[in-house]
Chains A and B, each alone.
Chain A
């Protein structure tokens, strides 16, 4: 709360101070409709706002899936620019590497305490055929994302997937949500994050979610195995220059699921693998799989305290570290799946639930869109 007082003097009224407690890190929340029903952004804002005390105003953000149905075959790039030069430099590169079908400013609402936003612009892009002779389309787009992030001073790709987008910045998540006018977007998956930064400076690009292509990650915690996760990813051409540990999670999913084609549950197993003592007691076939995954994917094991919600175009995954050092609650109501740091954040938007549970350490909650949903 000390930071609160410094950064946002107005929120810390004397009368309230008596009830202040030490906040315990970040807040995350996620919701999806398995039927693919689209829900507007006010709901998720309400949920994350309920956990106001878990963030300190230095970062908030949202990922939304299904928001650009009319342009769902194009890559939607949400860009953050520190200045006009960065925008020009990036657009120069875009012209070279993509077909730009449309570009426009990301609509924002300017009167609510969000200060100094960067230039926010979005582009709907296609990868030109002639560039894809020796490389798959997604590998190509991934490479270009890496290139812009590391080569263009002051430019940052906030999201780069199809029919999805990330909306993030410095501020409390509920303020960021209003700033981006999320009430105007409808999505079948929403994830949200309120940030309490410790080890990375509070800048707009550093807010969650972190994304790559369709992957988005909101994360509460710290990855103590960052050093080796990073070196492992670098072996496969990922460039990790954001100086934050959350991006490794997004990239690891990209590597394991998209490029190595691991089924989601096996990818999750390699990121938060069971303990050897439990593997040794598994049925032979299961044991063989779990052993092979640990042997091969030791460097992708995420170690340290974390709870994450991962979004992708076909679903949402919640995951805790192997000894559950960060909180996570999950719930269901009809076709809706909810996950959040605190149960209250779910009850706030769905008071009447069919089922509420605390996922066990290292055990993923996997939500998948019904197959018939487009």
Chain B
């Protein structure tokens, strides 16, 4: 069927400046630029990944939105019309990548942070210690000492140390390239934080980083062996993902080459299917069994995390997870990224992480079990301010996926599911993977975390506190702006203008 879909973007080539080096042709992994006597774009195929524009030595290329106007309709937006055209042509579910791009309210941007003036002095992080160290894991209610009051009697559950309360999100080898995995592992090790294998198993080349790696057990159970579980900082059971709550995963057979097949332990060329539920978890008791099966396998030396998508009933679910024995609850908000998801799910299912986090932290406190698990949150943590606000709402640490990819070069073009990522990130094509230099990407990731670390320290200093634990859950230091009372109540914060 001849497509009626207009191009989304226009590739504009300034032929006067173009010196016909063809770099753009080589770089465009979406075949949107050809060379026919001169550089000739096929606008329809362009996804605005900026690869050509970035590498054109003459700066001769710009990408613009197709100025083709649609007759105005508040209801029938151009996007909706285009989606209908697509489905009328394909008959299929619309697939997409990255996180929910729709204009739902971003609560982070409606919260403001306090600062000290006069009565309580602020602290200068350049002169005084400013501590970000965080330990993930279950904490007992209290510590006990022997009768002499000298030696510790309490044996703490395993704790994982973070030098900065920001860890890299689960992204599987398969969804992203081995070079991207390597960069994340190197950066995690250098910065004293963690990376997460996602559900695709652990490539053997990452063996030397295992004390900084979260290994995931998802419904497909790819690459899960007892060695895999034991070679880790902690183990995460993935129940759901913010971008696609209640939906499984599908890595198409074309991407399952020699290496991925080995890592995932499935035959070359077969589709890697992660079922929507775990087929051995149909209730909270089943989850508890899996948690303890993993704890037995790892000799109770690794914290076990359970990752869920933020859905309406998230607080009760999180409480069940803690009672089922999890040491960490990871909550992924509805704006979290993905390698591939049906658009209908990505854009319409789940709830914002800010509200989910506030509800979970409050619920666990009401039940007196907040100490029994750490809370990790992700799903569009975009900047250090988001981290500060999340911790003030009650998180122990944040998880960044999209932000870490952007640091490595991703342009959020949302075409991860095509396997053509021009930046060597969401692809398995060797010629594209080669574009991502793991060393350089690791440096960029470390720079990002270093910068955020300094920014968080600045904010702590201005709050007059010198340890991150004095911020954690301290909602008194946040105020809402322009939020309805209900949202303020759920977030547990006052409106700006109200003092103590």
Contact = CB atoms under 8 A, between A and B. Distances in A.
Contacts of B472: 228, 298-299
B475 A224 contact: no
Given A222-B120, A303-B470, A289 B152 contact: yes
B467 A288 contact: no
A289 B133 CA distance: 17
A333 interface: no
A373 interface: no
Interface in B453-478: 463-467, 469-477
A129 to B, nearest CB: 28
A293 interface: yes
B119 interface: yes
Contact of B121 (A276, A288, A296, A305): A305
A225 B465 CA distance: 7
A323 B365 CA distance: 30
Interface in B125-160: 128-129, 131, 133, 135, 137, 139-145, 149, 151-152, 154, 156, 159
A265 B121 CA distance: 27
B477 A227 contact: yes
Nearest to A322: B466
A224 B120 CA distance: 7
B476 A303 contact: no
A283 to B, nearest CB: 12
Contacts, number: 114
Given A199-B500, A295-B156, A235 B474 contact: no
Contacts of A293: 143
B368 interface: yes
Interface in A281-297: 285, 288-289, 292-297
Interface residues of B, number: 45
A17 interface: no
Interface residues on A, range: 35 or more
A234 interface: yes
A66 B422 CA distance: 79
A280 B465 CA distance: 21
Given A262-B143, A293-B143, A304-B120, A228 B471 contact: yes
B473 A299 contact: yes
A275 B123 CA distance: 15
B116 interface: yes
Given A235-B365, A323-B123, A296 B470 contact: no
A294 B141 CA distance: 13
Contact of A323 (B135, B152, B368, B466): B466
B370 interface: yes
Contact of B120 (A227, A260, A265, A305): A305
Given A224-B465, A298-B469, A304-B465, A261 B144 contact: yes
- In the A-B complex, the 3 residue pairs with the smallest Cβ-Cβ separation, listed nearest first, are A227-B476, A298-B469, A227-B474
Given A225-B465, A304-B120, 10 more contacts: A199-B500, A200-B500, A231-B473, A231-B474, A234-B365, A235-B365, A235-B370, A260-B141, A295-B139, A296-B143
15 contacts: A198-B118, A221-B120, A222-B120, A222-B464, A262-B142, A273-B467, A275-B131, A276-B133, A289-B152, A292-B152, A292-B156, A295-B139, A296-B143, A301-B467, A305-B120
